[in-house]
Amino acid sequence: MKQFDVNILGCGSALPTLQHNPSCQVVEMCEKVFMVDCGEGSQLQYRKSKLGFGKLNQIFVSHTHGDHCFGLIGLISTLGLLGRTGDLVIHGVPDLELILKPQLDYFCKDMSYKVLTNTFDPKKSEVVYENRSMKVTTIPLEHRVPCAGFLFQEKQADRHLIREKIDFYDVPVKERVNIKQGADFVTNEGKIIPNSQLTRPADTPRSYAYCADTAYKEDIVDIIEGVDLLYHEATFTESDISRAKKTGHSTARQAAMIAKQANAKKLILGHFSSRYTDNTVLLKEAQTVFPNTILANEGLCESL
């Protein structure tokens, strides 16, 4: 199977701590590298990860709070210093364009590449990026400012040819594409060879959902149904649920409830409040509802 990795570069919340960096992740899939959110210091975390700046393809920004976007202009500038020539596309809410433009005009006038922004409506679930192998869909979230999560999905691949059967029936090369897509084969004598005898099923498509900075929102369950891996913010414990409601965040238990309702296979908790010096209290709370839960941490790489 092709690589599909989620790398955690930062999983803290707004107030800086020595324990965690601000929000940033890198998703490697279908031979491309995508960044999700870019808090302060993300480019340093990226360099530590040894992923390679030249591989970065697109950036997805959930919302315009600083702990999710303060690192953008530094990263953009560094890519220019490194001689990048290919366009960099940044997907975000409309306000992101207002924030970036004056910074780009002042700091990045003569860069060797273009920064393009693709804005989306955070109130709608829509495809914002797509290629032959995968797509990225927005997930409307509920926060103090317009905010969206992102669902990374592989597309269903073609079936696998059974080489010995293809050779045995002398299937012409020009017909193999159709057979991989499910067609039967008709021999020169008119005999129909069922597709099931010529192919094996393709690998099941994998998916990853990123839901950072949101109040408890059951509406997203249908969008992320059956997801292989879910990252959901868990800023607070249930003992601080009033604070969570006031600030537009979730508790660890609420994150676990979303994972359970969505039939997710695995849950990663993140976006930890600085008030908790030991994040295992969040983990234990979530695991009472959804046992297959782990804590995000800088350097964590989850392979799907």
Active-site residues, by number, are 67
CA–CA separation, 179 and 280 (whole Å): 51
DSSP for 72-141 reads: HHHHHHHHHHTT--S-EEEEE-HHHHHHHHHHHHHH-TT-SS-EEEEE--TTS--EEEE-SSEEEEEEE-
Residue 28 backbone dihedrals phi, psi, to 5 degrees: -105, 115
Tokens 């926060």 correspond to 143
Tokens 């993300």 correspond to 42
Residue 80 backbone dihedrals phi, psi, to 5 degrees: -65, -45
The helices-and-strands tally (H runs, E runs) of the chain is 11, 18
Pairing mode, strands 207-211 and 229-233: parallel
CA–CA separation, 276 and 236 (whole Å): 8
Cβ proximity of 238 and 265 under 8 Å: no
CA–CA separation, 53 and 5 (whole Å): 17
CA–CA separation, 63 and 66 (whole Å): 9
CA–CA separation, 266 and 282 (whole Å): 16
